[in-house]
A and B are shown apart, each in its own frame.
Chain A
Amino acid sequence: MRIGLPVWEKRISPVFDSASTMWIACSGSGNDYHWETHDLPEGPMIYRIQKLLQLNIDVLICGAVSRCCLQLLNGYGFQVVNWVCGDADEVVKAFLAGHSLQETHAMPGMRNWGRGFRHRKGRCWQKGRRKQ
């Protein structure tokens, strides 16, 4: 599994829309993983998403993300866990251990906000399905 996290100062970037660095936790079987680091392009959001597609990410764990950006991410079939903050390493460990990040690493004021999307698969904008 490849878990993407926009990271700034070793913590989840506060806003995905303007994040500049993507860390990817590549995990095999079990809870072991290693990190890859990539730059995220500036400019239109679509460049950023194309980069994520190239990086072949299964899950994106991020902080705040604007609604239009989230729709695009869902449109491209990404599973998104948003409103998360904290140390990137700790977040990945919690995620791999099966903890709800909404409980353990929610951004201030966002605990259990939008509860229920934790296991939701990405969908195409409005009503499509993930590209097979």
Chain B
Amino acid sequence: MSPKKNDTQKPGTKHSFMKLLPEQFKRLLDCIADGMFSVDLSWRITSFNRAAEEITGISKDDALGHRCCEVFKANICERDCALKQTMATNRPVINKKIYIVNKRGERIPVTISTAILYDADGNVIGGVETFRDLSQMEALKKELHRQYSFRDIISRNPQMMELFEILPEIAQSDVTILVSGESGTGKELVARAIHDLSLRRNHPFIAVNCGAIPETLMESELFGYRKGAFTGAQHHKPGRFKLADKGTLFLDEISELSLTLQVKLLRAIETKKYEPLGAVSQETADVRIVTATNKNLEQLVNDGGFREDLYYRVNVISIELPPLRDRLEDIPLLVDFFIQKFNSLQHKSIEGISDDALSLLMRYDYPGNVRELQNFVERAFVLCRGDTLEKKYFPEKLHALDEKEEMLQEGSLSDVEAAAIKAALRRHGGRKQDAARELGIHRTTLYRKMKFHGIDVEKE
């Protein structure tokens, strides 16, 4: 017999709470903002109001007659059921904070209160639980405390917020992690956050940029060498593996490692043993590896530029950071963060950024990602003489974008042409030869068009 059949049995009519309620009272329950359900003595749901439907995502028809734990899906159902506690002790539970998992798999923070239900003769016929959705309140709290940062990573982008949620869990384990994302998206910050949240936080975090060290030196950098290993090796030198012992080794741009070194790295990760150059015995290092790349490693594996076995070894958990152009909503937060940072570093007291300047920054697509934005703000900081970062302090390429947009708003083809000529002349300080080259027209054509549109270099 399938247990499902038992599940779908409707509650016994004798103790059905619904039957005891007048229709008006049921309607009243549907009007309240708090979720409410009642159960009979076999923990099957006998009433389920409209707010309960909204909060759990489960309809009343689906809920009635089923076990409350399989409908409500709270973290306390199994070990610490509040209704059970109330039934056992005859005391209500008031405003206990728990979470439930809704239909979309979201953890919804709620507070619950419980009470016992009696019939007219005073017999216990079940229990009632009310619950209040706290998710909006939690979101507001986050807004108030500006909890859009995680360690030094700042974002309000949903994908990044999801990463913030999952990062502490990932950090607790010792698995190898591959962080991928375009240059400047903050891969090292993520690696540092993982280290800071891990049990290895009191041991070293060693970062190595595999693309910045010549191939010939990479092996000695990673594994170290013994005195006399090669000409000039006058004493022992510990490698990065040794330095990161009991801590975390961050290998940035791992795709730049040579195939020969990839074999040695794989061996070191798998066996936790390595051989320094010139050594006769192996050394051990207890190191957690975090790697990063701005390339598509899977593609590199297919092209033969990266070993497949090493790829699977480093890609146990993969974290992908979105580029800044896909999370433009972060720009105001990031600008604010950089202003505070540079105020403190450069002993200035810039108060903020003008609306014009911010809108200029929002229109750019940031091939260099957050690092490029940081450079823009730093540049503006150096040039700024007032207390607000104005549009004029930001680089010319951002203004070019602005001008293009202005041109598009001008309307007619003739207007667009005139605006393009004016902008080019402005960019080149009135030098017609350079402006004509940029516009892709001959100098004499430029003269002709300037005359036609009545453009005066002196005025421009």
Chain A residues with a Cβ under 8 A of chain B:
8, 11, 13-15, 17-20, 44-47, 49-50, 63-68, 70-72, 75-76, 85-87, 90, 94, 104-105, 107-110, 113, 124-129, 131-132
Contacts and interface: CB of A to CB of B under 8 A. Distances in A.
A107 B68 CA distance: 11
Contacts of A8: 78
A18 B79 CA distance: 8
Contacts of A19: 78
Main SS class of interface, B? mixed
B453 to A, nearest CB: 52
A52 B139 CA distance: 33
B3 A14 contact: no
Contacts of B309: 132
B3 A15 contact: no
A127 B7 CA distance: 38
B197 to A, nearest CB: 10
Interface residues of B, number: 49
Contacts of A65: 101, 105
B317 A125 contact: yes
26 contacts: A8-B78, A14-B72, A15-B101, A49-B173, A50-B173, A67-B106, A70-B105, A72-B166, A75-B318, A76-B316, A86-B2, A87-B3, A90-B3, A105-B4, A108-B7, A108-B66, A109-B58, A109-B63, A109-B103, A113-B103, A124-B317, A125-B318, A127-B318, A128-B178, A129-B315, A132-B312
B278 interface: no
A124 B317 CA distance: 6
A67, A85, A108, A126, most chain B CB atoms within 10 A: A108
A46 B57 CA distance: 28
Contacts of B319: 125-126
Contacts of B58: 108-109
Contacts of B70: 14, 63, 85, 107-108
Nearest to A21: B78
A40 B300 CA distance: 39
B315 A128 contact: yes
Contacts of B162: 67-68, 71
Given A44-B172, A109-B58, A124-B315, A66 B320 contact: no
B396 interface: no
Contacts of B315: 124, 128-129, 131
Given A19-B78, A72-B166, 8 more contacts: A14-B72, A14-B78, A68-B162, A70-B105, A72-B169, A85-B67, A105-B3, A108-B63
A17 B75 contact: yes
A125 B315 CA distance: 10
B350 interface: no
> Of B59, B77, B78, which is in contact with the most chain A CB atoms at under 10 Å from its CB?
B78
A15 B75 contact: yes
A46 B169 contact: yes
Interface string B81-119: 000000000000000000001011111000000000000
Interface string B55-67: 0111100110011
Nearest to A10: B3
B165 interface: yes
Given A63-B73, A131-B316, A109 B101 contact: no
Contacts of B79: 18, 20
Nearest to A124: B318
A15 B4 CA distance: 18
A45 B73 CA distance: 17
B317 A75 contact: yes
B105 A64 contact: yes
B69 interface: yes
Interface in B310-332: 312-313, 315-320
A66 B105 contact: yes
Contact of A68 (B76, B165, B320): B165
B165 to A, nearest CB: 5
Interface string B376-401: 00000000000000000000000000
Contacts of A110: 103
Nearest to B171: A46
A126 B318 contact: yes
Nearest to B296: A127
Q: Which 10 A-B pairs have the closest CB atoms?
A: A128-B318, A109-B62, A109-B58, A87-B3, A67-B105, A64-B101, A64-B73, A18-B75, A14-B69, A46-B172
Given A47-B172, A85-B7, A124-B318, A90 B2 contact: yes
B18 interface: no
Given A19-B78, A125-B318, A67 B7 contact: no
Contacts of B101: 15, 17, 64-66
A129 B316 CA distance: 8
B342 to A, nearest CB: 33
B168 interface: yes
A123 to B, nearest CB: 9
Contacts of B59: 109
Interface string B154-180: 000000001001101110110100100
Given A14-B69, A68-B165, A108-B70, A128 B317 contact: yes
